[in-house]
């Protein structure tokens, strides 16, 4: 009967190696799992029957194969900064596919090779190749992920590590895929709600710029000739001054706006600046409620997913703090972490932060008392996902007429400013006749 060499981890995350007899590779995987181990790599044992490593081509053999006579392979790779970034959608698809392959009994290493061949993203393909080499050389899957922090964040790596330790990698991968899909769905809904206001805003800026540069100057010459030096109405003079500034100091205005944007972004990247802006976002009229609900939904879903996957609570709180994307929530999570570390409950620091609604605090308190905290957090996240949908729909219905009114006010102000002198001119001509 064929022998297979394997590398596996137990429930404590300890790695072990050995050989096992089985009719085929799928049966070998099943036998290793029946021992309470989770195989990270498995393959046919060497010809001596006593090999302790999965059959794999060493790097030297791969290099020699590439240099075989008559086989000259030229590879051209774009610089890293020109390669397409790994989108969240691509990573979600990869996670879902890998979960399906592992759940079907395919060895992890073989699954990575399959995904490497079929992924169209160059950066992800390169990462998968490196991960395959790392797993072949004896590293665990989570260790191979740590080599690519720009693709796999702390949340992803720690959940995979917990899945390996518990022997439920396929379950964790499915949870990661579901988490990413729901997060992406909420993100797309918020983006969709902002498309219309942005389009109207760009149209307003374009129309205003065209009127100030191409139309207003012609009226200025007409007014100078017909009014014979008489003062213009205040609103007309204001529009004329704005036109002069745009025409003669346009580059200065653009440069000033660009400088303000750069300074704003630099300020936002600082810890204090990020906190100030996040506080402003949460308390902003109209948008504040949506921002708060989105942040709370992300926090509760992330923490619930981590805890249900077996990640220790202190480690889970640190991950949530680092991946929440909101400095206000991050500071609240740090306070919760410190309280739990001292043996206290999560409820008091959550309430003290004044960020989380009473419903969230009550659900967390019930979850801690009943030992069903992950389930309660997931329910809170689901509830807030529904509220986000309603908030986005309501916000869209309010923004659309508001932006139309803003556009009408801008264009209407310019039109009125141009017509007031015309009325004055017509009145002057009528009295003269």
User: Tens of pLDDT along the chain (433 residues)?
Assistant: 788 888 776 655 567 788 888 887 777 877 877 787 767 677 777 544 344 444 443 333 343 343 333 444 344 444 554 455 778 888 888 888 888 888 888 888 888 888 888 888 888 889 999 999 888 888 888 889 988 888 888 888 888 888 787 777 888 888 888 888 887 887 787 777 778 788 888 888 888 888 888 888 888 777 777 776 677 788 888 888 888 888 887 788 788 889 999 999 998 888 888 889 988 988 888 788 888 888 888 888 888 888 887 888 888 898 888 878 788 888 999 999 999 898 888 888 888 888 888 888 999 999 988 888 889 998 988 888 888 878 887 877 888 788 888 888 888 888 888 888 887 777 766 665 5
The number of angstroms, rounded, from the C-alpha of 431 to the middle of its chain's C-alpha atoms is 68
Best CA proximity match to 392, nearest among 290, 315, 293: 290
Predicted local distance difference test score (pLDDT) of residue 83: 52
Token readout for 50 is: 């006593």
203 and 93 fall within a common domain: no
Count CA within 13 A, CB hemisphere, residue 397.
6
120 and 208 fall within a common domain: no
What is the helix (H) or strand (E) element at residue 104, kind and residue range?
A: none
Cα separation of 136 and 143, whole Å? 12
Predicted local distance difference test score (pLDDT) of residue 67: 38
In a domain, 197, yes or no: yes
Predicted local distance difference test score (pLDDT) of residue 320: 86
CATH number at residue 410: 1.20.81.30
CB 340 within 8 A of CB 368: no
285 and 395 fall within a common domain: yes
Beta-bridge partner residues of 8: 16, 39
User: What is the domain range of residue 360?
Assistant: 178-433
Predicted local distance difference test score (pLDDT) of residue 68: 39
215 and 257 fall within a common domain: yes
What is the helix (H) or strand (E) element at residue 15, kind and residue range?
A: strand 15-21
Query: Could you tell me how many residues make up the chain?
Result: 433
45 and 94 fall within a common domain: no
282 and 344 fall within a common domain: yes
Q: Which residues, 6+ apart, have CB-to-CB distance to 188 below 8 Å?
A: none
143 and 187 fall within a common domain: no
In a domain, 183, yes or no: yes
């Amino acid at each position: 009967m064929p022998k297979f060499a394997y590398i596996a981890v137990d429930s404590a995350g300890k790695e072990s190696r050995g050989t096992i007899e089985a009719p085929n590779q799928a049966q070998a995987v099943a036998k290793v799992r029946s021992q309470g181990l989770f195989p990270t790599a498995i393959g046919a044992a060497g010809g001596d029957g006593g090999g302790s490593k999965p059959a794999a081509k060493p790097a030297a053999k791969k290099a020699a194969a590439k240099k075989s006579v008559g086989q000259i392979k030229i590879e051209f790779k774009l610089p890293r900064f020109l390669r397409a970034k790994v989108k969240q959608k691509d990573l979600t698809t990869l996670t879902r596919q890998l979960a399906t392959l592992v759940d079907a009994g395919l060895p992890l290493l073989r699954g990575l090779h399959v995904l490497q061949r079929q992924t169209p993203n160059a950066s992800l393909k390169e990462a998968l190749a490196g991960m395959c080499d790392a797993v072949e050389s004896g590293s665990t899957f989570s260790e191979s992920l740590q080599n690519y922090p720009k693709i796999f964040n702390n949340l992803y790596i720690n959940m995979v590590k917990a899945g390996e330790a518990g022997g439920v990698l396929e379950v964790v991968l499915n949870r990661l895929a579901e988490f990413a899909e729901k997060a992406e769905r909420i993100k797309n809904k918020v983006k969709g709600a902002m498309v219309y206001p942005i389009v109207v805003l760009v149209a307003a800026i374009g129309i205003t710029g065209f009127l100030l540069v191409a139309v207003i100057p012609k009226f200025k010459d007409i007014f100078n000739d017909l009014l014979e030096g008489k003062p213009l109405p205040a609103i007309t003079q204001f529009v004329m001054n704005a036109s002069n500034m745009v025409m003669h100091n346009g580059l200065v205005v653009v440069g000033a706006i660009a400088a303000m944007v750069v300074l704003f972004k630099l300020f936002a990247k600082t810890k204090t600046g990020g906190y100030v802006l996040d506080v402003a976002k949460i308390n902003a009229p109209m948008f504040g409620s949506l921002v708060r609900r989105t942040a709370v939904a992300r926090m509760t879903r992330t923490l619930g997913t981590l805890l249900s996957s077996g990640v220790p609570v202190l480690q889970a709180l640190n991950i949530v703090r680092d991946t929440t994307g909101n400095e206000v929530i991050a500071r609240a999570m740090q306070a919760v972490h410190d309280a739990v570390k001292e043996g206290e409950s999560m409820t008091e620091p959550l309430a003290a932060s004044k960020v989380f609604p009473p419903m969230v605090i009550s659900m967390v308190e019930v979850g801690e008392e009943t030992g069903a905290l992950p389930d309660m957090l997931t329910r809170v996240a689901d509830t807030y996902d529904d509220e986000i949908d309603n908030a986005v729909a309501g916000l869209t219905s309010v923004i659309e007429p508001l932006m139309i009114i803003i556009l009408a006010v801008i264009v209407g102000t310019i039109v009125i400013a141009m017509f007031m002198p015309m009325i004055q001119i017509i009145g002057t001509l009528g009295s003269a006749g």
